Amino acid sequence: MSDERCPDLSVKRRPTGTRVDKVDIAGKLSQFAEPWVPRIVGELNGQHVKVAKMRGVFDWHHHENEDEMFLVMKGSFRMEFRDYSVELRQGEMLVVPRGVEHRPVADKECHVLLCEPVSTRNTGNVKTDRTVEDLERI
């Protein structure tokens, strides 16, 4: 049982002068227009939390060492695999396991939230004109 005179020393206190703030995902997405250029909006446990807009067909690729999570915030898209595809709508998510070849396709603009290791390159094992080496933090 916790007591003010006997604090739980395993509980971390935020350092003086630091703030923990919420992130307005829709507001972050409104700051840019171009598709296929993810932006970093947070970080936790070696993972980047990113937002991106998708429109059209992306490149076939895979990530050798990283899983990717896609959460649809607005719109819909399909994740194509070589032998089938999965339709995702607002509020639905999908985790693409490492090593699985895939490509997202959005017939209309779609907004997604991504969680993936910091080391994840947006085009995975291929380098194309859509590869983004240095992601912007917004």
Give per-residue pLDDT as tens, 39-96. 999 999 999 999 999 999 999 999 999 999 999 999 999 999 999 999 999 999 999 9
Task: Give the model confidence (pLDDT) of 54-65 as tens digits.
Answer: 999 999 999 999
CA 11-16-20 angle, 5° bins: 70
Instruction: Write down the pTM of the prediction.
Output: 0.84
Helices and strands (H and E) in the chain: how many: 1, 8
Which residue carries 């446990």 as its tokens?
45
- The domains of the chain, with CATH numbers, are 37-125 (2.60.120.10)
